[in-house]
Amino acid sequence: MYKTAMIIDDNYTDRYIGEIRLKKHPFAVDVILKDSATSALEYLTLHANEPHALPEVIFLDINMPEVNGFEFLEAFSFLPELVHQTCSIIMLSSSISSEDHQRAHDNKFVRSFVSKPLNKEKLNNILVS
Amino acid sequence: MNYFVIGYFAAGLIFAWFYDTWLIALGVGGLSLISYYSVKSALPDSDLYQYVLSAVYGIFTAQYIYQMHGLFEMHFIAFISSALLITYQNLKLQIPILIVVVVHHAVFGYIQNSGVNEVYFTQLGYFDLQTFIIHILLAAIIFFICGLWAYQLNRYTKKQHDQAFEMEKLQKESLLSMSKNLHMTNEGLNEARKTAIEKKLHADELEISYKKLSKTNQELDKFVYSLSHDLRAPLTSMLGLIEITEEETEDRLVQTNLSMLKRSVNKLDCLIHDILNYSRNSRIEITDEEIDFREMLNDALSSLQYLNATHRNVEIHVDVENNTSFYCDKLRLALVLKSLIMNAIQYQDLKAAQPFINIRVKNTEKQTLITVSDNGIGIKKELQEKIFEMFYRVCLYSEGSGLGLYIVSEALAKLNGRIEIDSELGRGTTFNIYIPNGAVSLASHTSKS
């Protein structure tokens, strides 16, 4: 089990489902919910030097207004080394595009690609890997 | 020739000096001159004047003989005249002069022989018949030779003329045909240029419409993709909520209802997948790449894991005989495989003790043969043709959209492949899929370029 996880998703229902899943599983003690990539980046920048405040796992949605998942990943690469070392990113999307899958795979910060909705099996797989 | 006639007349005047024959020179010479010129000026187009000239030459000869008092050498004048007439290239022109000579000799010879004074025909004392005959014969031979000469000359000239004419005709003809050919070539060139321009225009139009079409295609693909995502996003939210709720409740009724709700959501999700697949199959360009069948089948099977929640577990055997590399469009091939496996899982026979799916892949340099067989519910013989039709569903309780096998056949058409079905109701179904190896077309492509 992780200490802290973060969910970045513009959709309220999906954040709600994610929070319940992570807490019930249990997957993480604390779950930080962010409704946009920008607010998530703000948080990560703010706590860039506090390893205990940084989420160990970030569930990242792809299709979001303003800054989407891939743009978040680009901005993420400019964050301090400590953030990269602490946070592993899991793409959580309802996308069935093979291009999106490939693009996620090719990014060095992305640990895996998980299709929505989150369930026990998928969370187990993440914990095992 | 006119100068010669005048020369003859002048010669007559000169000879008049010797024996004072001025009257003869002026009278006979003058008359001859007048008759020649009058005929020539009156009938310039006729050759009558030539005959007159011939006679005139004979008369002049006779005149000179008389003027020179029968001087024998004056006979040469007749031969000169005869030679001159050759230039007209007419054998018959020798006849008037011959007649004049014969008549002159006969008449004057007779007159002189009868003892008339001052006839001055010959210096001989007596002109007998034998001499006359020899004289005339020799003259005739000379005239004949000159005539023959004239005739030959005429023939050669004519031949030459004809040849020249023929040549000219040939040249004209060849020029004509050349110009004709040139004209035709020109027309052909114009036509070719016109066609080329038209073709170019056509090609330009085609290129523009191709660009427009491919842009439309891209936009449409993007649209379908965005739409499918936007449709799927709330579906996955619903599915997530259903699953959480299922775990929270012990109520059987609520659980039954939730599982029905889940089924509906999955069905809708399948439809969205199918529409997206159909769109991509018809729009995305074919790109051949080497196929790893084991990896592809594993991906397909893992993406179909969700079916395990609602269906009995099916035993799946995979046998890949990979003797040679196989090249194909990955997207479409995966689509075909996934569709067939999904069908086999969904339409398993619940009465069967051990449901299974056998997947066999056999690659050759030319093609691949993929066999997907199951012991599922099977399809009635009379319905087997229809299963590849759009929106056709075999049974009432089928879960699909009726697009699955239609898209399979569409995708196979794009891959130049074909599908065969062997099925028996209650026994199971076998699909044989033949797809040409893209390496062949790749090789022919590179050898062409």
A39-95 pLDDT tens trace: 999 999 999 988 889 999 999 999 898 899 999 999 999 999 999 999 999 999 988
pLDDT tens figures, B7-22: 888 888 888 888 888 8
Whether A117 and B239 lie within 8 Å, measured CB to CB:
yes
**CA nearest A21 in B: which residue?**
B244
**Chain A hits for B295, Cβ within 8 Å:** none
Q: What is the pLDDT of residue B94?
A: 85
- Dihedral angle over CA of A46, A47, A49, A54, nearest 10: -150
Q: What is the pLDDT of residue B219?
A: 82
**CA nearest A20 in B: which residue?**
B244
Mean pLDDT within B252-256: 92
For residues B162-192, b (16+ Cβ closer than 10 Å) or e, as one string? Answer: eeeeeeeeeeeeeeeeeeeeeeeeeeeeeee
pLDDT tens figures, B36-46: 888 888 888 88
Q: What is the pLDDT of residue A34?
A: 95
- Whether A63 and chain B come into contact, CB under 8 Å, resolves to yes
Q: What is the pLDDT of residue B283?
A: 77
Q: Which residues pair with A91 in a beta bridge?
A: A60, A113
Give chain A's radius of gyration (CA, Å). 13
In angstroms, the separation between the Cα of residue A114 and the nearest Cα of chain B is 11
Best mean pLDDT range from A83-87, B100-104, B385-389, B437-441: A83-87
On the question of pLDDT at A30 being above 90, the answer is yes
Q: What is the pLDDT of residue B33?
A: 85
Q: What is the pLDDT of residue A31?
A: 95
Best mean pLDDT range from A63-67, B124-128, B210-214: A63-67
Mean pLDDT within A21-27: 92
Do the beta carbons of residue A55 and residue A4 sit within 8 Å?
Answer: yes
On the question of pLDDT at B398 being above 80, the answer is no
**Chain B hits for A94, Cβ within 8 Å:** 229, 232-233, 235-236
Burial (CB count <10 Å: 0-12, 13-18, 19+), residue B1: middle
- Dihedral angle over CA of B201, B202, B203, B208, nearest 10: 90
- Cα gap B371→B382, rounded to integer Å: 22
Q: What is the pLDDT of residue A36?
A: 94
Q: What is the pLDDT of residue B119?
A: 67
Q: What is the pLDDT of residue A13?
A: 93
In angstroms, the separation between the Cα of residue B194 and the nearest Cα of chain A is 47
